[in-house]
Amino acid sequence: MQEWCYEYLVTGNIKRDGVHDTEISPLIKMIEDSSDLSNFTKEILDCGYTGPINTDHKESILRALALHITTKCIPMLQQLRVGLEIYDLIKVMQKKPQECHDLFVIGYDEKVDSHYILSHLAPEMSPIGSIKQVKESKIMEFFQDFLLELEDTQPEDAAAGENLSVPKIMQWMTGQAHRHLLVSEREKFNIVFKFDHCCLQHMPNHTVCYPIVSACTNTITFPVVHMVDYESFKTLMQTAVTYGASFDRV
Ligand SMILES: [Zn+2]
């Protein structure tokens, strides 16, 4: 759905710009560029314009064409609106226009958000009820809090800056910062969480470990013993993401 259609659904107002139609938009473009409109007489009349057709009236012709596009769609949109009203969804859209926007308007949903990451996690947890599993669940919670915190403290367009962001975490874990475009890819996409409880046994006397990421297999291994609280989790994550995936035991 186009932006203006969504706006119409939510507000009932018709916006004249950003209106697109597969037949009429190319015609509009040609008329804009043309100095002789007589070639387009038939098409212009078909769109319901009744005034004189010459370059002096270009503006009003173009307006009539844009109006024609919207008039074609509006009965459909009105029906859709009635349907959405049955379920009170229009009210939801009016309360949260931004949140609902991506459900209707395509092309704006490539940005990775915390929900996208969290809904594709595949943690390899220990048996339910075990002490290990309790610690692992804590880390899952830390991870979720970490993403939400990043999202909340993030200005809208900060993805390109130095600061950590949710897309950067995605990039770090999987090698790509955007969503998967194909539904089939989305369905296959998983981020595997593994939990290392034994790093101290393998190498006694070390004080810090970083999460290890293998971007080709979308796998992250968390050093559980070093992540006992949210603060230590956060610090280790920040360091690991900022300074790359080459960290191992220090
Ligand atoms: Zn360790």
Q: List, for residues 176-191, the tens digit of each pLDDT value.
A: 888 876 777 888 899 9
How far does the centroid of ligand 1 lie from the alpha carbon of residue 145, in Å? 22
Q: In this structure, are residues 170 and 176 in contact, taking their beta carbons and an 8 Å threshold?
A: yes
216-233 pLDDT, tens digit per residue, is 889 999 999 999 999 999
Place of tokens 């969503």: 179
Question: Could you tell me the CA-to-CA distances from 239 to 28, 97, 115, 247, 248 in Å, in that order?
Answer: 53, 36, 23, 9, 12
Backbone angles phi, psi at 210, to 5 degrees: -110, 155
Tokens of 149: 């915190």
How far does the centroid of ligand 1 lie from the alpha carbon of residue 220, in Å? 15
For domain 114-242, give the CATH superfamily: Hect, E3 ligase catalytic domain (3.30.2410.10)
Q: Give mean pLDDT, residues 60-81.
A: 91
Question: Could you tell me the CA-to-CA distances from 211 to 1, 54, 164, 244 in Å, in that order?
Answer: 42, 69, 16, 11
Q: pLDDT-derived band of residue 96, with 50, 70 and 90 as boundaries? A: confident
245 or 96, higher pLDDT: 96
Instruction: Tell me the residues surrounding ligand 1 (ion) with CB < 5 Å.
Output: 199, 209, 223
| ipTM score of complex | 0.96
16-48 pLDDT, tens digit per residue, is 777 888 888 889 889 988 888 888 999 999 988
Highest mean pLDDT among 16-20, 58-62, 139-143, 165-169: 139-143
- pLDDT value of position 234: 96
105-133 pLDDT, tens digit per residue, is 766 556 788 999 999 999 999 999 999 99
How far does the centroid of ligand 1 lie from the alpha carbon of residue 236, in Å? 11
List CB contacts of 168: < 8 A, sequence separation 6 or more.
159, 177, 241
How far does the centroid of ligand 1 lie from the alpha carbon of residue 162, in Å? 28
| pLDDT at residue 246 tops 70 | no
How far does the centroid of ligand 1 lie from the alpha carbon of residue 217, in Å? 22
- pLDDT value of position 107: 60
Nearest to 11 by CA among 72, 97, 89: 97
DSSP string, 60-101: HHHHHHHHHHHHHHHHHHHHHHHHHHHTTHHHHHHH-HHHHH
List the domain boundaries for the chain: 3-104, 114-242
How far does the centroid of ligand 1 lie from the alpha carbon of residue 211, in Å? 9
| pLDDT at residue 161 tops 60 | no
Tokens of 33: 């560029």
How far does the centroid of ligand 1 lie from the alpha carbon of residue 216, in Å? 23
Q: For the ranges 19-28, 73-82, 159-168, 236-245, which has the lowest average pLDDT?
A: 159-168
For the beta sheet containing 191-196, the strands, ordered from the edge strand earlier in sequence to the opposite edge, are: 121-123, 191-196, 219-223, 212-214
How far does the centroid of ligand 1 lie from the alpha carbon of residue 227, in Å? 10
